[in-house]
Amino acid sequence: MDLGQQVPAYFLAPAIFFVAAAVFFLQMARHLRIFAAARPDGAVDRTETRLGSLFVHSIAQSRMFRDVRAGLLHAAIFWGFVALTIGTADRVLGGLVRTVISWPLDGWLWRLLLPIQNLLALGVLIAVVYALFRRLVSRPRRLTLSRDGLTILLLIAGVVATELLAEAFRIARHGDPDAAWAVVAGPLGELLGRSLAPAALDYLFALFWWANLGLVAGFLVYLPRSKHLHIATAFFNTALRKARPRGALPPMDLETETGRFGVKTVEDLGWKDLLDGFTCTECGRCQDACPAWATGKPLNPKTMIMGIREMSVEAEHGVPLLPGLRGLPELPLIRPADAGGHPAPAPSAVTRGATATALATPIVDTAIPYDAVWDCVTCGACVEACPVLIEHVDKIVGLRRNLVLEESRFPAEITSAFTNMERVGNPWGQPASARLDWARGLSFDVPTAAEVAAEGEAAVAELECLYWVGCAAAFDDRNRKVARAFVTCLQAAGVRFAVLGQEESCSGDPARRMGNEYVYQMLATGNIETLNRYRPKTIVTACPHCFNTIGNEYGQLGGNYEVMHHSEYLSRLVADGRLRSDASGAGTLTYHDPCYLSRYNDVVEAPRAVLGSLPGAELREMDRHGKETFCCGAGGGRMWMEESRGTRINVERTRQALETGADTIATACPFCLVMMRDGLADAGAGDGARATGRDGVEARDIAEILASGAMGGTALVPTDRRQLPVVQPGH
């Protein structure tokens, strides 16, 4: 086959293609020049993990298949496009690709490729029709209907259809020894060859061939300005994903940071944040997953990411496509860094005009409304839902950091939470002297670490764990019962434990997630100092927020500990036969996964194992459970904010829980517990309803459910099968 003879004016084809490719790369380079004005964003390490992520998320596209129909549709277009690219490359390289592929195995490789390519092309066309149907007819709420989206779909269909038709006419006019393998173009070509005159075949072949090339060139020129750009950026975005534990917010140096605290403008974002923007396809899975959006609040994670992308594109308006063109000053590729490794403010001479204006525009109230910044519960449902691993939560916390640390601009009601954490080390504003009040009246002692240390080395060595009580369990009446239940379980299992008592402070999680890094670091460094004094083997806590912050974030400040959530600890005690429960009245349960336990830290099975150990308990899962759980509404410091916009998140989650028909909403987080209890009261199904004769549904912590029938494991206390103090709700 000789393209030069078959295609009129073929010599122009490679030229047109490569000019289009050059325009594509120049536009991409312009994106990168704005990236260069952003902050450095962590080292690219852990190559194997990154390659794994690239494979799982970009090649296998695992998250796309959570919505099976969308997954299949997307896979058809993706693989069709890959196969198509081989054909395109062959045409613009004068048949080189076919020649190379046909070389080994006597051309069998090419013959094998042909039917795959042909069938995938058909698949693409069907998928495009389905995609158009979704956008124009069935219209799932998460999809944005835009001209860009329709343009891209029609371009894809056009490229595929013209290629297939050009192939068919080529086979019809010139024949092909492998025509039998082209399962679509072959028979079609045969049919056309029989029904049309050679001159018509010549004409139509040239028409479709050139139409195909024109569309391919147009696609390349258009792509960098389209949300479809993810076909180029997703590979990088999935490979360059955040490598920290998901529950760890970016570290922040409050002492040497001379420039900006937190994120105010596009310039304060990292290049990975900008790459996130260019990887977003507006698919809306984040929007679908967002509890704030679901309850009618102004926060929409999708529009925030797209807004950041638009701001980044806006900044390019001052930058010419060709460096040096129009005599405009250029952006430097790398911003000079100061001694602390942070970029110095960009020199004014390099960021002039539109670029400077765009780079100086605050993100708040441009890409995201001010209220929406505070609506976020940092539950991470958006991050979990995103097929291309965009990180929404870190950006929102970055914006909060700037609002709090630089502008003191935040909802008025959290002032007292901030000052309480600063003054007395907990958001409730209770004195440290009340930290052990929850343990009053227990039938056994709850020793403090200081008391155990005073007993000497031997006593310290015997300690199995340090129970980190957390402020909620120490000061909130409802959660004090959870603390009592948990230590009852520890006591029943014969675990030697201690608590910090007055030496404990808030872990800092609420401060950090509300953007107050100053108060967070103050609390965290104090706690690290205390913990380092006692060097506990294992820290156990019933609070997923303390669990996440101590386990995943204290390392940034030099505190490295082994931390377990009480669900893990209890499930181990049960598995080891040290603890068993005959809480036979457990009945039907549904388990509400706390975000910071399941989504952020993969603790999904342990709490279910605890509930599963109860005789006769029946677990009824909600639709959204495990890593796809729906927030209770209290995360990200929302516990201390008024929920004045939209409907209440806890009411929505309670509704989902009640739908299961379970008698008990089990949970494993002090905030979730309070929110579910309030949600039940709101639904008229709460604790108080039981006395009225209506079906009373209760929210209880897994430790409470276990403790209501906890007995020492028979292996440990074979003779003494005593019933331990029962912790009843309502006392």
Q: Between residues 67 and 503, which has the closer beta carbon with respect to other proteins?
A: 503
Q: Between residues 195 and 256, which has the closer beta carbon with respect to other proteins?
A: 256
Q: Between residues 147 and 440, which has the closer beta carbon with respect to other proteins?
A: 440
Q: Between residues 256 and 714, which has the closer beta carbon with respect to other proteins?
A: 256
Stretch that binds other proteins, among 292-300, 328-336, 439-447, 688-696 (CB under 8 A): 688-696
Q: Between residues 415 and 714, which has the closer beta carbon with respect to other proteins?
A: 415
The residue within the footprint of other proteins, chosen from 66, 139, 423, 533 (CB under 8 A), is: 423
* CB 406 to other proteins: min, Å: 6
* CB 342 to other proteins: min, Å: 15
Question: Any residues with CB less than 8 A from the CB of 304 and at least 6 apart, and which?
Answer: 367, 368, 372, 392, 395, 396
* CB 412 to other proteins: min, Å: 7
CA 375, CA 444: separation in Å to the nearest integer?
Answer: 43
CA 657, CA 630: separation in Å to the nearest integer?
Answer: 10
Do 26 and 221 form a contact (C-beta atoms < 8 A)? no
Q: Which of 648, 41, 32, 34 is nearest to 398 (CA)?
A: 41
Q: Between residues 206 and 421, which has the closer beta carbon with respect to other proteins?
A: 421
Long-range CB pairs of 616-621, under 8 A, 24+ apart, other chains included: 616/584, 616/586, 616/587, 617/583, 617/586, 617/587, 617/588, 617/589, 618/587, 618/588, 618/589, 619/589, 619/590, 619/591, 620/588, 620/589, 620/590, 620/660, 620/661, 620/662, 621/590, 621/591, 621/660
Token output for 124: 């693409």
* CB 418 to other proteins: min, Å: 6
* CB 692 to other proteins: min, Å: 5
Q: Between residues 50 and 690, which has the closer beta carbon with respect to other proteins?
A: 690
139 forms part of the interface with other proteins (CB under 8 A): no
Q: Between residues 521 and 667, which has the closer beta carbon with respect to other proteins?
A: 521
Token output for 514: 């509300």
Q: Which of residues 238-277 bind other proteins (CB under 8 A)?
A: 254, 261
**Residue 59 gets which letter from DSSP?**
I
Q: Between residues 94 and 696, which has the closer beta carbon with respect to other proteins?
A: 696
Tally Cβ neighbours within 10 Å of residue 532.
13
* CB 410 to other proteins: min, Å: 8
280 forms part of the interface with other proteins (CB under 8 A): no
Q: Which of residues 395-414 bind other proteins (CB under 8 A)?
A: 404-408, 410, 412
The residue within the footprint of other proteins, chosen from 21, 72, 432, 683 (CB under 8 A), is: 432
* CB 420 to other proteins: min, Å: 9
CA 161, CA 208: separation in Å to the nearest integer?
Answer: 9
The residue within the footprint of other proteins, chosen from 185, 289, 424, 463 (CB under 8 A), is: 424
Cα of 1 vs its chain's centroid, Å: 50
458 forms part of the interface with other proteins (CB under 8 A): no
Q: Between residues 66 and 694, which has the closer beta carbon with respect to other proteins?
A: 694
Size of the site for other proteins (CB under 8 A): 25
175 forms part of the interface with other proteins (CB under 8 A): no
Question: Any residues with CB less than 8 A from the CB of 479 and at least 6 apart, and which?
Answer: 472, 473, 670, 673, 674, 701
CA 510, CA 546: separation in Å to the nearest integer?
Answer: 10
* CB 402 to other proteins: min, Å: 10
Q: Between residues 619 and 689, which has the closer beta carbon with respect to other proteins?
A: 689
Token output for 254: 């409050």
661 forms part of the interface with other proteins (CB under 8 A): no
Stretch that binds other proteins, among 38-46, 319-327, 429-437, 571-579 (CB under 8 A): 429-437
Q: What is the 3-state secondary structure (H, E, C) of 231-253?
A: HHHHHHHHHCCCCCCCCCCCCCC
683 forms part of the interface with other proteins (CB under 8 A): no
Cα of 666 vs its chain's centroid, Å: 25
* CB 423 to other proteins: min, Å: 5
CA 229, CA 388: separation in Å to the nearest integer?
Answer: 12
CA 701, CA 483: separation in Å to the nearest integer?
Answer: 10
CA 26, CA 23: separation in Å to the nearest integer?
Answer: 5
The residue within the footprint of other proteins, chosen from 99, 415, 532, 647 (CB under 8 A), is: 415
CA 599, CA 581: separation in Å to the nearest integer?
Answer: 28
The residue within the footprint of other proteins, chosen from 431, 558, 577, 661 (CB under 8 A), is: 431
Q: Between residues 418 and 486, which has the closer beta carbon with respect to other proteins?
A: 418
Token output for 498: 């201690």
531 forms part of the interface with other proteins (CB under 8 A): no
**Cα pseudo-dihedral 114, 115, 117, 119, rounded to 10:** 160
Q: Which of residues 462-521 bind other proteins (CB under 8 A)?
A: 517-518
695 forms part of the interface with other proteins (CB under 8 A): no
Q: Which of residues 345-404 bind other proteins (CB under 8 A)?
A: 404
Q: Between residues 159 and 397, which has the closer beta carbon with respect to other proteins?
A: 397
* CB 515 to other proteins: min, Å: 10
Sign for the pseudo-dihedral over CA of 34, 36, 37, 39: positive
429 forms part of the interface with other proteins (CB under 8 A): yes
CA 668 to each of CA 401, 487, 730: distance values in angstroms, whole numbers, following the listed order: 29, 15, 19
CA 361, CA 223: separation in Å to the nearest integer?
Answer: 26
Place of tokens 């000019």: 19
Q: Between residues 137 and 412, which has the closer beta carbon with respect to other proteins?
A: 412
CA 676, CA 670: separation in Å to the nearest integer?
Answer: 10
* CB 405 to other proteins: min, Å: 4
Stretch that binds other proteins, among 98-106, 236-244, 381-389, 690-698 (CB under 8 A): 690-698
Q: Between residues 8 and 684, which has the closer beta carbon with respect to other proteins?
A: 684
The residue within the footprint of other proteins, chosen from 85, 146, 433, 647 (CB under 8 A), is: 433
688 forms part of the interface with other proteins (CB under 8 A): yes
691 forms part of the interface with other proteins (CB under 8 A): yes
Burial 668-704 (b: 16+ CB within 10 A, else e): bbbbbbbbbbbbbeebebbbebeeeeeebbbbbbbbb
The residue within the footprint of other proteins, chosen from 110, 219, 418, 497 (CB under 8 A), is: 418
Q: Between residues 99 and 256, which has the closer beta carbon with respect to other proteins?
A: 256
Q: Which residues bind other proteins (CB under 8 A)?
A: 254, 261, 404-408, 410, 412, 415, 418-419, 423-424, 429-433, 517-518, 688, 690-692
